[in-house]
Chain A
């Protein structure tokens, strides 16, 4: 049973058991435009919720990706490192950035459900 939660900074974490897959939302990739470079965290690095964990760079600008929840990096997506445009093509699946072993699954409750996130996006328009 997987569950996807979103932050107000447009990260998502898709949780399956003890591990969460982190990426940026489809809305975020559209706002950024063509992604040309990503800087991913090393396996073993521990983040607290809200730490700067990765950088996604478009032609225009560099954007920080914040850890949506606390945890330890267990894998980084080599495919987006080699082909940053994957984030534009498939942000919510193939364009994921890194996987975290959750330190405190209770933090998920503070994040938005898909329905809440979609409602939040409407307030930005």
Chain B
């Protein structure tokens, strides 16, 4: 018998104890669902609070002499304005290749007292590539530190803030704005948290030492609003929220403009450039991209899955479905995919080829389910 090549997160034993169905994902044995199933887990997250183990994701810290120095180093890889990232704030961006294609998408955060430290969270499936890329081209004065001893939990849903506040009443968590980031103590645990997530709900991501993760997860699960949620519902939640998943809506052939992520490229970077693929991205910003990521709503009840061909009203191929399934909160099949610019407006009629038959569908606005992020 050969040893399994998959890794486990610090919560693996807890997932098994909770009755999770485990499957390999991005090199990790991860919980796909628990006993209540994807539909119930999805709806629970939208109505109360869901606990997700996202410890497989890559966490790292960039360290240098000052914020300006570290931000300048990171801006060589990504198109977001990192220099203007204020203390205590988080920003979404992408690592780009020389053609402007997306190597990975990530969150960058700066602690409230940090001057020369940035925290990065990247996708599990891309972390080795990302970190090698950064290390190969960082200036000698900026160091990449992989936070392999840290776990990452996400608590998502309308009750998430009340639950976390109960565990850290002095932490001022309720007042944190969306995309704020800072250290918080939960008793003996020193965590770094951000008010963000990937479900479209209000919620938090909590980075904490791996050896304290199971105990903290058990404390969260003991709260009446909290249920464990697997990757199946994580995927249906992010699809309803219209959010990109690397390897589906994003890859090295897709630029952030056609992916609908131009909002993540701030004004200074658009004019100055200075990131990989800047020429292609500036052109796409000026002229509009040739293809666009869109939402898709099949007319009937049949879902269209990833890979399904998209054809226009005349039957000509115009793109492919990148994610598709059933939206539990929408109560209907939903999908995302890329189509040519002429067919990208909401309401455009097209067909999705499912089991060799055309399934009538229309382009729909994103998100499918309204975002419920904290607004100030």
Contact = CB atoms under 8 A, between A and B. Distances in A.
Interface in A35-88: 36-37, 39, 55, 57-62
A57 B333 CA distance: 11
What is the predominant secondary structure among interface residues of chain A facing chain B? strand
Contacts, number: 41
Given A33-B33, A34-B39, A59 B326 contact: yes
Contact of B37 (A33, A37, A55, A57): A33
Interface in B26-53: 32-33, 37-40, 42
Nearest to A85: B39
Contacts of A55: 355
Interface residues of A, number: 12
Given A55-B355, A60-B38, A37 B232 contact: no
Contacts of B33: 33
Contacts of B232: 33, 59-60
B302 A37 contact: yes
Among B40, B42, B305, B326, the most chain A Cβ lie within 10 Å of the Cβ of B326
Interface string B36-79: 01111010000000000000000000000000000000000000
A69 to B, nearest CB: 23
A34 B37 CA distance: 7
A62 B304 CA distance: 9
A39 B303 CA distance: 11
B119 interface: no
Contacts of B301: 36-37
Contacts of B236: 59
A36 B326 contact: yes
A37 B304 CA distance: 11
A59 B38 contact: yes
Given A55-B355, A57-B326, A37 B38 contact: no
Contacts of A58: 38
Among B32, B39, B40, the most chain A Cβ lie within 10 Å of the Cβ of B39
A36 B42 CA distance: 14
B116 interface: no
B325 interface: yes
Given A33-B33, A36-B303, A36-B326, A59 B39 contact: yes
15 contacts: A33-B38, A33-B232, A34-B37, A34-B38, A34-B39, A34-B40, A36-B333, A37-B301, A39-B302, A58-B38, A59-B38, A59-B42, A59-B328, A60-B38, A62-B303
Interface of B: 32-33, 37-40, 42, 232, 236, 301-303, 305, 325-326, 328, 333, 355
Interface of A: 33-34, 36-37, 39, 55, 57-62
